[in-house]
Amino acid sequence: MHTQTIPDDTYMTALAWTDPAAYDIPEPGSDEEAAMLGAVEALFTNYTEENLSKHLTEVYAEAVYFRDAFKQFDHAEEIREYMLAGLEPLHGAEFIFNRVLRDGGDFYIDWTMRLDFRKTPPGTWEESIGMTRMRFNNEGKIIFHQDYWDPTDIVYRRIPLVRGLIAYVKKKL
């Protein structure tokens, strides 16, 4: 069963094989680092079918560890198909990069996700905050992507049975 935050064997293995010490990544503050992070930001801040189709496999390495609140993948092509499918119930999606922090070879992106669902009038944007931890290979491509965000309010509450359960739990707590 998939889980977002339990450090299972797959996660621990990914931490080992993506250890930044094994890769030659750009120096902090360098033009190369800015270009690498700029490619990531360009992919997510222009979150469209055309942009994802064309550029996702340029930003993600073919072999990659990817885990978000819903799925886990180990190939860039799977991530692309997943992200494209995620656009289907939407009029639009946007990511705003609030801050990027670096600790050694680990990068942490503080972001705001904005979604405009087709089941609501166009322009009815809903927002959620989150954080992503990333690691890169020698080519500056993502090899590790771990999201941390709570889909409860923006996604799960759209399911009638779950919406009632969430309201009940919040009321009891």
- Give the residue extent of every domain in the chain: 9-172
* Averaged pLDDT for residues 153-170: 51
Whether the per-residue pLDDT at 31 is higher than 80: the answer is yes
For strands 106-117 and 142-149, give the pairing.
Answer: unpaired
Whether the per-residue pLDDT at 165 is higher than 50: the answer is no
Q: Are 84 and 51 in contact (CB under 8 A)?
A: no
**Cβ-Cβ contacts under 8 Å for 109 (sequence gap 6 or more):** 40, 97, 99, 100, 131, 132, 134
List pLDDT tens digits, range 43-57. 999 999 999 999 999
Share of the chain above pLDDT 70, in %: 86
Whether the per-residue pLDDT at 160 is higher than 90: the answer is no
> What mean pLDDT, rounded, does the chain reach?
89
Whether the per-residue pLDDT at 1 is higher than 70: the answer is no
* Averaged pLDDT for residues 142-159: 77
pTM: 0.87
- Please state, in angstroms and rounded to a whole number, the distance separating the CA atoms of residues 86 and 140: 25
CATH number corresponding to 9-172: 3.10.450.50
* Averaged pLDDT for residues 109-122: 93
